[in-house]
Amino acid sequence: MQVQRVSGVMLRIYYLMRSSFTRVFPLFAWAAIDIVLWGFITKYLNVVTKASFDFVPTLLGAVLLWDFFTRAMFGVSTSFFEDVWSRNFLNLFSTPLTVAEYLMGLIVSSVVTSAFGLTIMLIIASLAFHLSLLSYGIWFLPFVLVLFLFGIALGIIAIGIILRFGPSAEWFIWPLPAILAPVAAVFYPVSVLPPVIQPIARIMPASYVFEGMRALLAGHAVPEGTLALGAGLAIIDVLLACWFFRTMYLRAVRTGLIARYSAESVT
Amino acid sequence: MDQNETVLAVRDLKKHYGKIAAVDSISFHVNRNEIVGLLGPNGAGKTTTINMLLGVLSPTSGTIEIEGIDIAKYRSRALERTNFAAVYAPLPGNLTVVQNLRVFGLLYRVRNLFERIEELLQTFDLIQFRNTKSGVLSSGEQTRLGLAKALINSPDLLLLDEPTASLDPSAAQEIRQTIRDFAREHSIGILWTSHNMYEVADVCDRVLFLSKGNILIEGDPKSLPNEHGKQTLEELFITVAREPLTLEKQV
């Protein structure tokens, strides 16, 4: 893997971000709106339930972490869309750039953009709704890491789908986090889900993070073993996603779709 | 350096889509200091061939070696020595001229990139457009930018797919001269497709006529028409396009 080529992919994304407010704005805007909305909901729930239980770190923390996961995923997929929208595939893939270098460029760019989004969300959540990271302690880091890996994996799968089905498949990608959220146990335990859906939740690394978060906030110990299982699943997901993208890429090279991508299909 | 050293060797290259042969077992080579014209009517297989040479389309069978490096086995190494420009592949319009050259310079791992970019801006008369978004350049300026990108890594093999198609005759003549000067100075090999037979006769040392995925005839563009009973290269082209069977396959 050549660092210069990876930095070429990243530099392109940086230039686009630097010159365009419309690209920077979504990094935090929708997540910030989510934080504000759920911030008020949690405040209201705290009032009406009069419970000793504090909804802020549970619900608002879950929203914040799920939005971070979404940003990590879109960090990969929107950078890929830039090459789709500017019809850059022929120029890009006729360079010595390898698939691994291209993916690495997208992933590192996503680290930067999602970290930026997370910082803004944390500032809003702590200033406006007194969400404190201290509630999670050191566990915040593995939570974020697992969600980041899972977001990256989903982002890579998403761009593999786009490469396979053409630019119009973009509309499958945007709602993906919303489709996954109900089975990822973001706001409620896996045990609440119907038994047939629970196995799906168990193979999603995100469910272990949110289960761990709820255990921690309920005063229990974070189940380290299951969180490690979540991390292991996330790593496997990233590897499978890279394999999937490479397979789609090789198929596109075999069929000639890379060179005629705007046609969406060569048949 | 051996002046006749082969930079591109293509052997028995085939690309089949089901039962349709887009390229059907072609073999050819390009030497250093040589500009080879790849000619043929629309749909003859020229762009399919170029896409295979660029590694964006895998052949059904056959081999491609660039500077002796098999592109199927060592794609990155082979493509580091290659570059291309085509009228249908403009650089991203949302980056400026300099930004595009920096990005592609990094992708090709160009040494002394900033100096190289300044040289190319000078050579292709793009200095006043350095901070202009590529998408707002005229088609002629975009062509010059595409050629600057194509030369950024000082390739040993340059693939040009109708490089002057969108240029006026004066600009096209200047571009041809620039490319020829570069080719002579750096001893590179060029594969050049064009539908402008005047241009082909002007720049190419050798031409390959492609028809229905096969190389039909090959030779010096200046003597080839006479050898086939035609007055001009254009007349020969029209015969290849309309009545390929009347020409004896000579390759």
pLDDT digits (tens, 9 = 90+) for B14-50: 999 888 889 998 999 999 999 999 998 888 889 899 9
User: Looking at residue A207, what is its pLDDT?
Assistant: 93
Q: Looking at CA atoms only, how far is residue B21 from chain A in angstroms?
A: 13
Mean pLDDT of chain B: 89
Q: Minimal CA–CA distance to A64: which of A126, A153, A138?
A: A126
Q: Looking at CA atoms only, how far is residue B237 from chain A in angstroms?
A: 26
Which of A15, A95, A104, A258 to mutate to probe the B interface, most B CBs <10 Å? Answer: A95
Of A88, A90, A96, the CB nearest to B76: A96
Give CA torsion, residues A100, A106, A108, A109, to 10 deg. 160
Where do runs of H (alpha helix) occur along chain A? 3-18, 21-49, 55, 61-85, 89-93, 99-129, 140-165, 170-173, 176-180, 198-202, 205-217, 224-255
Q: pTM score, two decimals?
A: 0.90
The answer to whether the CB of B176 falls within 8 A of the CB of B208 is no
User: Looking at residue A43, what is its pLDDT?
Assistant: 84
Average pLDDT (A45-58) is 77
Average pLDDT (A241-266) is 83
Chain B stretch 27-56, residues whose beta carbon is closer than 8 A to a beta carbon of chain A: 47-48, 51, 54-56
Average pLDDT (B111-140) is 93
How far apart CA B6 and CA B176 sit, in angstroms, is 22
Helix (H, G, I), strand (E, B) or coil at B129: helix
Q: Which residues of B touch A96 (CB under 8 A)?
A: 75-77, 79-80, 107-109
Beta bridge partners of B218: B208
User: Looking at residue A36, what is its pLDDT?
Assistant: 87
Helix (H), strand (E) at residue B209: strand B206-211
How far apart CA A139 and CA A135 sit, in angstroms, is 9
Choose between B73 and A32: higher pLDDT: B73
User: Lowest mean pLDDT: which of A98-102, A222-226, B176-180?
Assistant: A222-226
User: Looking at residue B226, what is its pLDDT?
Assistant: 86
Per residue in A54-93, pLDDT (tens digit) is 777 788 888 889 999 999 999 999 999 999 888 898 999 9
Pairing relation of β-strands B82-86 and B69-70? unpaired
Mean pLDDT of chain A: 88
